[in-house]
Structure 1
Amino acid sequence: MLLVGEAEAIVLNLVQPLGERDVEILDLLAAAGRILASPVAGKLDVPHWDNSAMDGYAVKYEDVKNASDSNPAVLEIKEEIPAGKQPQMTVQPGQAARIFTGSMMPLGADTVIMQEQTRRRDNLVEILVAPPAPGDFVRHRGEFYQAMTPLLQPGVRLAAADIAVLASAQATEVPVFRRPRVAIFSTGDELVGAGEPIGPGQLVDSNQYALAIAATAAGCEAVRLGIVKDDKRVLQEAMDRALKAADVVISTGGVSVGEYDYVEEIILNLGGTIHITSVAIKPGKPLTVATFPQKELPKAPPKLYFGLPGNPVSTLVTFWRFVAPALKKLSGLTSGWGPLFVPARTRQDLRTGGQRETYLWGKIHPSDTGWEFELAAGSHSSGNLINLAQTTGLAVVPVGQKAIAAGETVRVLLV
């Protein structure tokens, strides 16, 4: 049985990120949330031209460098330049142009005086405060970005600010990695789908829904393959179908040591290599991780298989701890794909058996002194899905430790 850290290292070392063959070109809006596949350069300098950072007056610095309230510089206003309009004149000594935030700077002017530091009389303006240096309140062409130089580097997930940056530089076609496809199925004769009639001894398969949403949140395309009965032939056909349909396969159930747990045997029948069978984690001890070579594409990376335990809490805990980081790395992210832990002060006593690294679910709250962890009320059984609702963090109690007292610091996995 592997320690959690050992299992994590094995999983992440097995992941080979998407490559050149997995790139598609999308327009700006469609690229939101996707992973950038190659460097992007813009077509325009930013700013596109010298412009004003303030409402005020465009002037020559030499005309106003000695201005004060008791000895204002008096300039003749020769033009008004609204935003979006090209200036029509060149500012000469003793002249100024009325200008607005974002307006293009006129030729001859090198400084902007904000209107709060002026006093206007008809077509004259009095400058009451000397600017500190030439160029004050002027944004120069290319000051923020020069056209055709790298704008964004590959391996980042494109968020709102990134899309705005690309739009401002007119980079309207964006190379991104395709979304990894994740096939999901549940195993067990006792399972029925949500909304179906439920008979004695049967259980609703919540795992399909949880994993589809979780895989989508990790940036993948979820392919739900439904419930597979505990029959070797049927299960082997389903696993083979899943491997052909996706980059990653996730199944739940059938990975323990029961008489109807066939997953590991079928992995070997289909030519897979098993790397992990159990981890010293609670909940989630029976975890199978395997790889399958792509026989039709010998140079392609092997496909990943995760056999997660069937208990619904165990399913999600092992997904959050091991599968989500793997999917994010696979998607092409160059950083930020590992699990994120923060130290937090626990509001309640945390108790475990101490034999395995234990994950207790609850909510993480900001406070004046950092983070606080609030343990979910009720049973922390791997079969009790109910109090997992609204979970935002998992408190980690290390192997060999049986308790962490209220008020002490605990490491919390953000989910």
Structure 2
Amino acid sequence: MNTPRHFSSCVAEYDPNALPVSAAQEIVRQWALPRGRTEAERVRLFEALDRVLAEDVISPINVPSHDNSAMDGYAFNGAALLNGSDGSDDELLRLTVAGTALAGQPFEGHPLAAQCVRIMTGALIPPGCDTVVPQELVQRAGDTVTFASTHIVNGANRRLAGEDLAQGQPALRKGRIVRASDLGLLASLGIGDVAVQRRLRVAFFSTGDELRSVGEALAPGCVYDSNRYTLFAMLRRMNVEPVDLGIVRDDRASLERALRQATQDADVVISSGGVSVGDADFTRDLMNALGDVAFWKIAMRPGRPLAFGRLWSGKRPGEGESALFFGLPGNPVAVMATFYFIVREALLAMSGATPHALPLISATSSQPINKRAGRTEFQRGIAHRDTAGHWHVVTTGPQGSGVLSSMSEANCFIVLKHDAGNIDAGDSVDILPFNGLI
């Protein structure tokens, strides 16, 4: 039986006590495999937004379906450009207007060599014509148009049938997350429904005797549980199916019941809290009893305590239903950082999507930043562009992993690489903008 630990041993720098972020990402990547075709379902276009395509979508038609005009103007046979032209700048071409072609109302007829057709954008190119001169380049007097032949080339401003998309070619590929523009493309092909992967079911809960739900009174030493709301929002943004299991008490029996239930009901289980130094052995023992743990600490700030493995719902590992497990830290900022840099790609891959690396932008640090070599740090930053288009960034201030307000104030993560040390003002750093992510 292959386990996360089996794959972990194949990864360079494997150290379950302090794994570099890149190595942790590779371990998760190896185990987070997409589900099979049996998970697919067909949905109408209005229900397909943000779903993952389960198969290639093949175009049933050419797009455009016929040669058509790229702009308003006059269509004619481009051979007329060569007739009698001596290449001088003042060479004029005179054509007689034979009629008009509108979008959806083609010109009925076949223009002669010395004729042209008034044509609108999107209208079919009349038979015998292959070139369109824009209306702003011509002078018209009655049924005659005149323009400089040197201002236009043969075949200009004609959109060819199938040049956007040819019949029988893939319009969208399997694994694509359907966007708004894709819905328009599919509709333009006359396609009313598509095959998509079933939404991934992700169960999540918070652990801690000190946690209280919103609406409850706070006893001394207690805090409101914010992590479940953050996780819910991040999961909804990814269009997976979230399963909220609430708050779980800090004892082995309660946690075991929650893990077994979640493993039975979901594809992925995410907890927050309960994996700090004081609780690590307890959590690790329970994970080993239900499955296997690949790592439980990574060289990351915030987010060092992070457990990853696979759980089974049966009496012993390998029996019953299985689910990947991510035990995230309890601190709110650490939950968000570990989700986006460790969990997110796994959820995409298991959903059948084709994951792409998060886009990093190079920026200049406007201040010194303290950084310890030997761990990857994700500090909260405020970035802006100067008048020359260059990015600059400052931190939000104190970077404690419990300062949740810093995430609301920030508009990016400042990504400081594993081997980097202190950053001086003026140094280049990578930033990950929040827009479209948080």
**TM surpasses 0.5:** yes
**What amino acid maps onto 1:269 in structure 2?**
A
CA 1:252–1:184: 2 relative to 1, 3 Å: same
Superimposed CA distance per residue, residues 142-193 of structure 1 (whole angstroms, 9 cap, x where no aligned partner)? 2222112222222222223333322222233222222211111001111011
**What amino acid maps onto 1:193 in structure 2?**
S
CA 1:78–1:394: 2 relative to 1, 3 Å: closer
Equivalent residue, structure 2, for 1:283: 302
Superimposed CA distance per residue, residues 357-401 of structure 1 (whole angstroms, 9 cap, x where no aligned partner)? 333222233443643222012x22222222221433333445576
Structure-to-structure mapping, 1:81-120, within 5 angstroms: 81-120=101-140
Structure-to-structure mapping, 1:4-403, within 5 angstroms: 4-65=21-82, 66=84, 72-129=92-149, 132-258=152-278, 262-270=282-290, 272-293=291-312, 302-336=322-356, 338-352=357-371, 354=373, 356-367=375-386, 368=388, 370-377=390-397, 379-398=398-417, 403=422
SS in 2 for 1:13: helix
Task: State how far apart, in whole Å, the 1-side matches of 2:324 and 2:399 are.
Answer: 30
Aligned with 1:404 (options 403, 423, 427): 423
Task: State how far apart, in whole Å, the 1-side matches of 2:137 and 2:58 are.
Answer: 40
CA 1:12–1:62: 2 relative to 1, 3 Å: closer
Report the alpha carbon displacement of residue 30 of structure 1 after superposing the two structures with TM: 2.0
Task: State how far apart, in whole Å, the 2-side matches of 1:163 and 1:53 are.
Answer: 23
**What amino acid maps onto 1:194 in structure 2?**
V
CA 1:128–1:314: 2 relative to 1, 3 Å: closer
Residue range with higher mean Cα deviation, 3-12 or 385-394? 385-394
Equivalent residue, structure 1, for 2:3: none
Report the alpha carbon displacement of residue 409 of structure 1 after superposing the two structures with TM: 2.0
TM-score, normalization by structure 2? 0.85
Q: How many residues align?
A: 411
Report the alpha carbon displacement of residue 43 of structure 1 after superposing the two structures with TM: 1.8
SS in 1 for 2:262: helix
Report the alpha carbon displacement of residue 268 of structure 1 after superposing the two structures with TM: 2.7
Task: State how far apart, in whole Å, the 1-side matches of 2:391 and 2:81 are.
Answer: 53
The answer as to whether partners of 1:363 and 1:376 remain within 8 angstroms in 2 is yes
**What amino acid maps onto 2:56 in structure 1?**
P
Residue range with higher mean Cα deviation, 9-18 or 151-160? 151-160
SS in 1 for 2:393: strand
SS in 2 for 1:333: coil
CA RMSD of superposed structures (Å) = 2.8
Superimposed CA distance per residue, residues 114-136 of structure 1 (whole angstroms, 9 cap, x where no aligned partner)? 22232222233334435654322
**What amino acid maps onto 2:26 in structure 1?**
A
The answer as to whether partners of 2:348 and 2:355 remain within 8 angstroms in 1 is no
The answer as to whether partners of 1:325 and 1:339 remain within 8 angstroms in 2 is no
Task: State how far apart, in whole Å, the 2-side matches of 1:264 and 1:287 are.
Answer: 11
The answer as to whether partners of 1:256 and 1:309 remain within 8 angstroms in 2 is yes
The answer as to whether partners of 1:230 and 1:260 remain within 8 angstroms in 2 is no
Superimposed CA distance per residue, residues 168-219 of structure 1 (whole angstroms, 9 cap, x where no aligned partner)? 2223322222221111100111101123221111111000011111122234
CA 1:371–1:103: 2 relative to 1, 3 Å: same
Report the alpha carbon displacement of residue 252 of structure 1 after superposing the two structures with TM: 0.9
Report the alpha carbon displacement of residue 262 of structure 1 after superposing the two structures with TM: 4.2
CA 1:18–1:371: 2 relative to 1, 3 Å: farther
The answer as to whether partners of 1:254 and 1:261 remain within 8 angstroms in 2 is no
Equivalent residue, structure 1, for 2:7: none
Task: State how far apart, in whole Å, the 2-side matches of 1:259 and 1:217 are.
Answer: 31
CA 1:304–1:370: 2 relative to 1, 3 Å: farther
Which stretches in structure 1 are left out of the alignment for 5+ residues? none
Q: Percent same amino acid at aligned positions? A: 35
Residue range with higher mean Cα deviation, 34-43 or 393-402? 393-402
CA 1:263–1:141: 2 relative to 1, 3 Å: same
Report the alpha carbon displacement of residue 265 of structure 1 after superposing the two structures with TM: 3.0
Equivalent residue, structure 1, for 2:11: none
**What amino acid maps onto 2:276 in structure 1?**
S
Task: State how far apart, in whole Å, the 1-side matches of 2:20 and 2:143 are.
Answer: 79
Equivalent residue, structure 1, for 2:12: none
The answer as to whether partners of 1:274 and 1:288 remain within 8 angstroms in 2 is yes
CA 1:113–1:269: 2 relative to 1, 3 Å: same
Task: State how far apart, in whole Å, the 2-side matches of 1:59 and 1:133 are.
Answer: 12
Task: State how far apart, in whole Å, the 1-side matches of 2:167 and 2:111 are.
Answer: 28
Report the alpha carbon displacement of residue 70 of structure 1 after superposing the two structures with TM: 5.9
Task: State how far apart, in whole Å, the 1-side matches of 2:207 and 2:96 are.
Answer: 83
Task: State how far apart, in whole Å, the 2-side matches of 1:149 and 1:400 are.
Answer: 46
CA 1:324–1:391: 2 relative to 1, 3 Å: farther
Report the alpha carbon displacement of residue 294 of structure 1 after superposing the two structures with TM: 7.3
Residue range with higher mean Cα deviation, 208-217 or 53-62? 53-62
The answer as to whether partners of 1:111 and 1:134 remain within 8 angstroms in 2 is yes
**What amino acid maps onto 1:11 in structure 2?**
V
Residue range with higher mean Cα deviation, 306-315 or 384-393? 384-393
